[in-house]
């Protein structure tokens, strides 16, 4: 079986080469979209990541090229037009949970860094500047943490940050009894917005959650709120969050994902002229911390992603039940 891997980085290739013993993998650095889909000609499987654009047009080309399976090497599938895939009889599989801990721990890293400014302290000390001016933080202990989306990552985030002695409030369309038993209080979304000192987003991106953080939502929040997004960029309306930062309503913003990240993230643009005005504005704030979709990036998660992707492909080839199919 021939597999075309799109958006390949050296580490993706390294892990597939380490664990694959059976399949014929070809690695393409380019991302998948309608303009590159013809590269999949003659392949039965395409393996894609978060910023590949698997829309209707791309799927039509994949179908004509003989592709039968789209294997996502990630959990989110908002970038795939599932209806078009079904119409063309192309199955879609994903890696539903490779390491909720990896993402939850990164969300906490963003919170701690933004709060205690260790990134700035590191640079200061290296330059012989031992001053503490403007490095003041706050105790996480006793703060109210609002969590939107309490699935695998949200639940892991809650269990981990609870160790700091925080009160946890949450909103999800499905409540998790185990979390309620742990002391989590589910509230309507507006109340989570109104009460949280720190707000962490862990819901998927879909038509109901797109721009869940917008002007109106921000207006309901506490002044100085910290907002953390390790889920998907378009959960936040970028223009509105910039206004919230300018007005100082939003006190801190930590993002691992960004609405227009596909043109920026995972690439070294240090010698390029970046054209995206929004990211440049975000980068200019002292209280904004941006990482480029690295929350998942641990050794454990990479191993799990690779093994689950290989299992998904194997199940497809053997005509077994596709337990990680997305419908």
- Residues lying near ligand NAI in the complex (CB under 6 A) are found at 75-76, 97, 100, 103, 148-154, 171-174, 202-205, 208-209, 230-232, 256-257, 293, 295-296
* Shortest CB 205 distance to ligand NAI, Å: 6
Nearest CA to 313 out of 22, 65, 18, 7 is that of 22
Q: Is 202 a catalytic residue?
A: no
| Shortest distance in whole angstroms from residue 76 CB to ligand NAI | 3
Point out the catalytic residue in the list 94, 211, 261, 262.
261
Cβ count within 10 A of residue 188: 9
Supply the minimum distance, in Å, between the C-beta of residue 304 and ligand NAI.
11
What is the chain's Cα-based Rg?
21
Q: Is 57 a catalytic residue?
A: no
Q: Choose, from 94, 106, 293, 304, the residue flagged as catalytic.
A: 293
Q: What is the 3-state secondary structure (H, E, C) of the chain?
A: CEEEECCCCHHHHHHHHHHCCCCEEEECCCCCCCCCHHHHCCCCEEEECCCCCECHHHHHHHHHCCCCEEEECCCCCCCECHHHHHHCCCEEECCCCCCHHHHHHHHHHHHHHHHHCHHHHHHHHHCCCCCCCCCCCCCCCCCEEEEECCCHHHHHHHHHHHHHCCEEEEECCCCCHHHHHCCCEECCHHHHHHHCCEEEECCCCCCCCCCCECHHHHHHCCCCEEEEECCCHHHECHHHHHHHHHCCCEEEEEECCCCCHHHCCCCCCCCCCCCCHHHHHHHHCCCEEECCCCCCCCHHHHHHHHHHHHHHHHHHHCCCCCCCECC
Q: Which is nearer to ligand NAI, 43 or 77 (CB)?
A: 77
Q: Are 168 and 162 in contact (CB under 8 A)?
A: yes
Nearer to ligand NAI, 33 or 256 (CB): 256
Q: Which of 85, 107 has the CB closer to ligand NAI?
A: 107
CB nearer ligand NAI, residue 204 or residue 285: 204
CB of 158 to ligand NAI, least distance (A): 11
Catalytic residue among 232, 259, 262, 304: 232
Nearest approach, Cβ of 254 to ligand NAI (angstroms)?
12
Minimal distance, residue 43 CB to ligand NAI, in Å: 25
- Residues designated catalytic: 232, 261, 293
């Amino acid at each position: 079986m021939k597999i075309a891997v799109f958006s390949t980085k050296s580490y993706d290739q390294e892990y597939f080469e380490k664990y694959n013993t059976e399949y014929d993998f070809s690695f393409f650095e380019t991302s998948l979209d309608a303009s590159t889909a013809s590269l999949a000609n003659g392949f039965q499987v395409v393996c894609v990541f978060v910023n590949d654009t698997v829309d209707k047009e791309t799927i039509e080309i994949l179908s004509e090229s003989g592709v039968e399976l789209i294997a996502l090497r990630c959990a989110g599938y908002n970038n795939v037009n599932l209806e078009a895939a079904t119409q063309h009889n192309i199955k879609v599989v994903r890696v539903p949970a490779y390491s909720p801990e990896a993402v939850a721990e990164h969300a906490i890293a963003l919170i701690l860094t933004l709060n205690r400014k260790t990134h700035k302290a590191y640079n200061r000390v290296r330059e012989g500047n031992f001053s503490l001016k403007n490095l003041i933080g706050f105790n996480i202990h006793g703060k109210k943490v609002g969590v939107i989306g309490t699935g695998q990552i949200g639940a892991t985030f809650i269990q981990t940050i609870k160790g700091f002695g925080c009160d946890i409030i949450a909103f999800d369309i499905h409540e998790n009894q185990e979390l309620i038993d742990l002391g989590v209080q589910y509230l309507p979304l507006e109340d989570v917005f109104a009460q949280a000192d720190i707000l962490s987003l862990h819901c998927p991106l879909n038509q109901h959650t797109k721009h869940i953080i917008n002007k109106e939502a921000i207006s309901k929040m506490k002044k100085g709120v910290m907002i953390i997004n390790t889920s998907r960029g378009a959960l936040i309306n970028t223009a509105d969050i910039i206004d919230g930062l300018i007005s100082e309503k939003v006190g801190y913003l930590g993002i691992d994902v960004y609405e227009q990240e596909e043109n920026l993230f995972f690439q070294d643009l240090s010698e390029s002229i970046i054209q995206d005005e929004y990211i440049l504005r975000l980068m200019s704030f002292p209280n904004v911390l941006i990482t480029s979709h690295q929350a998942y990036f641990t050794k454990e998660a990479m191993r799990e992603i690779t093994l689950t992707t290989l299992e998904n492909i194997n199940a497809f080839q053997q005509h077994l039940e596709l337990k990680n199919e997305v419908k």
